[in-house]
Amino acid sequence: MCGITGVYYFDKKKPDLSLLKKMGDTISHRGPDHEGYYRNNEGIGFCHRRLSILDLTDSGNQPMSNENETIWLVFNGEIYNYKELKANLERKGYKFKSNSDTEIIIKCYEEYGVDCVKYFNGMFAFSLWDSKNDIFFAARDRIGIKPFYYYSNDKMFAFASEIKSLHVHPEIIKEPNDEGIFNYLLFDHQIDHQTWFKNIYTLEPGSFLIIKNNNLSIKKFWSIKFDIDYLRSFKSFKKELGKTIIDSVESHWQSDVPVGAHLSGGVDSSSIVSIASKILNKSLDTFSSAFDLGKEFDERKEINIVVKDSKTNHHQISISADDIKNNLEKIIYHMDEPVIGPAILPMYRISELVKKSNVKVVNGGQGVDEMFGGYKPYFSLAASNLLNNFKQKNFPYTELFYFPSYLFKGGTIKRFKNKIFKKFKKNKTEQNWIKGKNIHERIIKGTNVMRNETSNLLPFEKSAYVSLRYYLPALLHQEDRMSMAWSIESRVPMLDNRIIDLSLKIPSWYKVNKGMSKSIFRESVRGIVPNKILDNKIKRGYPTPTSVWFANDSYEYLLELFSDDQFLASKYVNKEILIKILNKQKNNINKNVSFPVWKALVLNTWLKINFSKNE
């Protein structure tokens, strides 16, 4: 896990070392253990900031080259199948000078060319210069665990792990990108390769980029493709999934430094901790956050079950409304551009706790909900899929008995009831909290992008696709930035390539089965994870009590912010309506209507950090 940045000047001028150093220093938190540079007379300048995890010797430092220095690489991430790849390449006659996974990328490129990315199981973003063939080659992992941003014009190409590094370059002007900002306000995340900054783009997950003869091209090497196997049994899928999960957790514990784990009390993180402690016979450090605000936000009961069962050394931190005032500006600085919701607050503080505990790598449970139907709407979607699939072979007709239950759990019946009694219609003024022209057209445009990509899929798979394609990368964005802010490597074992590919083959009625979400995932780890965790139907999902905070501790602070004539986000949001929403939250603390308030708060904070006169 590291920070990478660099430039490619098409006129072949040698990059300035002091500029590369400034670009690298901006992201030094990603790699405080070593800094390295490479420049040549072909216009290439690379900077690498290392967080040493594998092969702690100097032989693992970057930029790294092949033997004759015709290939140079800067790499951020981990290749978990590097030992297998290394053994295969050694049989072909390749020699290695290190025990790092970085060198594997160079050797695989020498053997397979740009197709090397298809062989990597891991999280990665890298840039490679091949002087022999005059090729600049960059790539990003399948699902978007590691970030890669770039700027390009007819004179130069620049890249970095974080946008702030690009803005150090004097030729790259920092300007807000309204299109990217409105994407967040309307959809919670981006729906294309844009960012909140003009002319700064993200290399999309599962893509690689090539520059040859000063011409830039981008291609996909992997995309989300459902290939449902309706003939295969629940038992067969369960057996393969369980074995693959265990193998993935084991591979994600490869490290030459201490490794710990997030523990929320949910099925996902509990599975990782239980497997690591029992199957791998590891003594673990586990980390969580806590809120003293009732069972809706308190997961300590479930956490303690796993801590006791796995005998972990558990660390816990309390999060309060004070974290908004004390830490939000630092958090938004590290985020570069906000996505999703307020879970960044506990993520940031937990990473701080990990750092203070002298643990350098932490594993988390991201991805299971998106792959295996873990969110409430999946119940309704599962019901819809049952109607569409009942003629399939091996169709479980007993699942039809759960049909009414799925409609209820998924909220379909409640929505229908509210519509009948005309409670479904929202207050029109609240819908207009977002300013700007053509808001309705923007919604239609964004929705159509996602709809067109899923036109041939059934309802359950449509939602899973959107979750994997758009929502999950945003969650991973949060995970990466909040951990790297504290120089912590965050790993996600459940997003092993093999688990992702297997999830795309499993029928929806195995994922939501017998009234339980993520059923096949739960059953695949039964016997390892405590039954009280596996049978718990409460879904919290990194709860952050902004509704309670905004109605109490943070109310006056937010009221003053929205009433201020210097409120920076006025171009994008209607602060008068936001005050009405804030007051509505204060008067009804049990109903969360705080998300517009949160979005306006982080947008204003982002504008203050990047564009205020006191910047």
> Tell me: the pLDDT tens digits for 408-455?
888 776 665 565 555 444 445 456 899 987 888 888 888 888 888 998
Residue written as tokens 């390892």? 528
Tell me the mean pLDDT in the region 593-602: 95
> Tell me: the pLDDT tens digits for 542-584?
678 899 999 999 999 999 999 999 899 999 999 999 999 999 9
SS3 sequence of 132-177: CCCEEEEEECCCCCCCCEEEECCCEEEEECCHHHHCCCCCCCCCEC
Q: What is the pLDDT of residue 430?
A: 58
Architecture of the domain defined by 2-220: 4-Layer Sandwich (3.60)
For the chain, what is the mean pLDDT? Answer: 93
Q: What is the pLDDT of residue 207?
A: 98
Residues 6+ apart with CB under 8 A from 556: none
Q: What is the pLDDT of residue 527?
A: 96
In which band, very low, low, confident or very high, does the pLDDT at 591 lie, cut at 50, 70 and 90?
Answer: confident
Architecture of the domain defined by 224-541: 3-Layer(aba) Sandwich (3.40)
Q: What is the pLDDT of residue 416?
A: 53
> Tell me: the pLDDT tens digits for 455-472?
899 999 999 999 999 999
Q: What is the pLDDT of residue 480?
A: 97
Q: Parallel, antiparallel, or unpaired for β 259-262 and 313-318?
A: unpaired
Task: Give the containing element (helix H, strand E) for 128.
Answer: strand 122-130
Q: What is the pLDDT of residue 415?
A: 63
Task: Give the containing element (helix H, strand E) for 313.
Answer: strand 313-318
Tell me the mean pLDDT in the region 198-204: 98
Q: Please indicate whether residue 116 is annotated as part of the active site.
A: no
In which band, very low, low, confident or very high, does the pLDDT at 589 lie, cut at 50, 70 and 90?
Answer: confident
Tell me the mean pLDDT in the region 29-55: 96
Partners of residue 260 on adjacent β-strands: 362
Q: Rounded distance, CA 214 to CA 557, Å?
A: 51
- DSSP, collapsed to helix, strand or coil, labels residue 526 as strand
Partners of residue 217 on adjacent β-strands: 210
Q: Rounded distance, CA 119 to CA 421, Å?
A: 56
Task: Give the number of other CB atoms < 10 A from CB of residue 399.
Answer: 22
Q: What is the pLDDT of residue 614?
A: 56
**In the Cβ-directed half-sphere of 137, how many Cα atoms lie within 13 Å?**
20
Q: Parallel, antiparallel, or unpaired for β 285-290 and 215-220?
A: unpaired
For a pLDDT cut of 70, what percent of the chain falls above it?
Answer: 94
Task: Give the number of other CB atoms < 10 A from CB of residue 81.
Answer: 18
> Tell me: the pLDDT tens digits for 347-404?
999 999 999 999 999 999 999 999 999 999 999 999 999 988 887 877 888 888 888 8
Closest CA to 204 of 185, 186, 218: 218
Q: Rounded distance, CA 449 to CA 304, Å?
A: 43
Q: Rounded distance, CA 124 to CA 135, Å?
A: 19
pLDDT at 521 over 70: yes
Omega of the bond leading into 596 within 30 degrees of 0 (cis): no
Partners of residue 194 on adjacent β-strands: 201
Task: Give the number of other CB atoms < 10 A from CB of residue 121.
Answer: 19
In which band, very low, low, confident or very high, does the pLDDT at 213 lie, cut at 50, 70 and 90?
Answer: very high
Q: What is the C-alpha end-to-end distance of the chain, expressed in Å? A: 29
Taking the C-alpha atoms of 232, 234, 235 and 237 in order, what is their torsion angle to the nearest 10 degrees? 70
Tell me the mean pLDDT in the region 273-291: 89
pLDDT at 121 over 90: yes
The shares of helix, strand and coil residues in the chain, as percent rounded to the nearest 5, are: 45, 15, 35
In this structure, of 102-111, 153-162, 389-398, the range with the lowest mean pLDDT score is 389-398
Q: What is the pLDDT of residue 424?
A: 43
Instruction: Please check whether residue 342 is in contact with residue 312, taking contact to mean a CB–CB distance below 8 angstroms.
Output: no
Residue written as tokens 């007379």? 41
For a pLDDT cut of 90, what percent of the chain falls above it?
Answer: 81
Closest CA to 265 of 348, 346, 358: 346
Q: Could you say which of 2, 47, 108, 116 is catalytic? A: 2
Task: Give the number of other CB atoms < 10 A from CB of residue 440.
Answer: 8
Q: In the chain, which segments carry CATH 3.60.20.10?
A: 2-220
CA distances (Å), 16 to each of 129, 136, 517, in order?
17, 19, 55
Q: In the chain, which segments carry CATH 3.40.50.620?
A: 224-541
Q: Rounded distance, CA 38 to CA 62, Å?
A: 9
Q: What is the pLDDT of residue 426?
A: 47
Q: Rounded distance, CA 145 to CA 495, Å?
A: 9
